[in-house]
Amino acid sequence: MVEPQLQQELFPILLRFRMHRYAMSADIAKMYRQVYVHEKHVDFQRIVWRDAPTEELKDYGILRLTYGTPAASHLAVKALQQVARHKMTEFQSSAEIILRDFYMGDHLTGAHTADELVLHASEKAYAAVAYARTKYLDGKIVVNLVASRTKVAPLKSTTLPRLELCAAHLAAKLIKQITACLCSPESRMFGWTDCTVTLACLQGHPSRWSTFVANRVAEMQEILPSECWTHVRSESNPADLAYRGMSPSSLLSYKLWWHGPPWLSSSSYVPHEVKRQDHTTQLEMRKKTAAVNVAEPSQHWTLLAKFSSFSKLKRVTAYVMRFIDNVRNCAQTMPRKQTGPLTSKEIQVAELKLISAKKPLPRRISLLRLQPFVDKSGILRVGGRLKHSNVASDVKHPVILAKSSPLAKLIVADIHKFTLHAGPRIMQALLGCWCTQLNS
C-alpha cells in the first residue's frame, strides 16, 4: 500500500537554505538500511536464495527496509521524524530542524531576513520574481533575488490583460509560499505590476468581474490586500526576462535580475508610503442581468401527476371517457349506455388520448434527426425511411415521448418494474415508443 507523503517540499527547503549566513548540509548514509522492520513484519519480506544450482534453497527474512517497495520511503521518513519527536524535549532545536529541513535523507539548513515582488506577462510567457529587501542597523540596504516563477502562455489564444492577471496570480501564490517559509511577523510584502488593468481588477470587488477574473482576484486579495499592489514602469521590471530571454553569460552581470530595480535599494524609498493610484477598466466587467419570472400554465395534464402507475392511469382515463360518451348519448332518442368491465378497445383509445399532441410540433435540434410528424390522431411519431417497409404501422412510426414528461416517467416506471429493473436496451424494446434520452 502506498502511504501519504511525509517529507517537506523541496522548494521551501531550498528557499530557507539560501537565507542563512552559515550553511550546513548532511546526508543519512544508506537511509533505508538504517531502519529495522518490526519482527512480526519480517515474514512479509522474504527471499529464496542459493549460490549455486547444486545447493539447497535457503529462505531469508529481510530485517530492514527494502528499497523499491511502495511503502519504503514513507516508513523511512516516518522513522526519522519519530526519532525527532521522541527527542524533542531533550534536543528541541535539533528536532525542529530535522522535522523542517530534511528531504528524504538529505539535509539542508543553517543559521542566521521583508520582501518585494515584481511580475510581468507577454503573449509567449509570464513570470513573477521575488526579492528580499533588508535594512541593516548601520543603514545599509541590500536587495537580493529570492525566487522566481515562469510559465509558458497557454496554446489557446487569450488576451494580454488576462495573461497579465495570470502573472499577478502566479506572484500571489509565490508570495504565499515565501511567507510560509521565511517571513517573520514584522515582515511586509508588496506586489508590483506594469499592467494598470490588473491593478484596476485588484482594486475592485471580485463580484464586479467575469468568472475568470473574479476567481483569481479573490484568491490574490486574500493573500495580499489590494493596497499592497503598485504600478512599476516596464523598464524597471525584471520579469520582462520571461519573454525576452537572455544568454547565461549576460544574465550573470544583469543587475536588474539579481537585485531588482535600483530604487528598491534607495534609502529614500519607503514601501508603505508609496502613494496608491486608483485605476479603472471596463474590461472583464460582469454583465448585469435582470431576472424576470413569467408564470406559464403547465404543459401537462394535471391528472398525470395523481397516479404512480400507467396501467391505473389508462383505466381511469378510459372510465372518464366512457362517462363522457354515456352523457352525450343520453341526449339521443335511442341512448346506448356502455357498462360493465372496460374493453381492450376502450383502454387502447384512452392510451392514444393520453399520448396525443395538442401543441405545435417542437423544433428542438435533438428531434430533427427523427423526422417527426403528427399523425391524424394528433400523436407525435418518428418519420424516416421505414415508412416504405413491410411492417406494422406502430413499428414503422413509434410514438415519441419526452423524457421529462410525467407520462413518459409513468410508462418507463411500469416497464422497469415489469422487467425486474432491466437495462435500457430491454426497456426500449418493450416500450413500443421512442423515449428521448432514455439512457439518462
pLDDT in tens, 226-259: 888 989 898 899 988 877 778 888 889 999 999 9
Phi, psi of 53 (to 5 degrees): -60, -25
Query: Hey, is 424 helix, strand or coil?
Result: helix
- Cα distance between residue 369 and residue 124, in whole Å: 44
Structure confidence at residue 105 (pLDDT): 84
CA gap 101, 104 in Å, rounded: 10
Nine-digit cell string for 260 = 531588482
Per-residue pLDDT for 341 more than 80?
yes
Give per-residue pLDDT as tens, 264-314. Answer: 998 888 766 666 678 888 888 887 665 544 444 445 556 666 777 888 888
Give yes or no for a contact between 381 and 398, defined as CB atoms under 8 angstroms apart.
Answer: yes
Kindly report the pTM of this predicted structure: 0.54
pLDDT of 162 over the 60 cut? yes
Lowest mean pLDDT among 58-72, 136-150, 230-244, 414-428: 414-428
The band of 27, judged by pLDDT with boundaries at 50, 70 and 90, is confident
Judge whether 122 and 161 are in contact, CB under 8 Å: no
How far CA 6 is from CA of 30, 41, 102, 188, in Å, comes to: 19, 22, 11, 30
Q: Which three cell numbers stand for residue 31?
A: 537511509
Instruction: Write the class of the CATH domain 115-273.
Output: alpha beta
Segment 210-238 shows an average pLDDT of 91
How far apart, in whole angstroms, are the C-alpha atoms of residue 320 and residue 378? 20
Ordered by start, the domain boundaries in the chain are 10-111, 115-273, 305-355, 356-440
* Grid cell at residue 201: 481588477
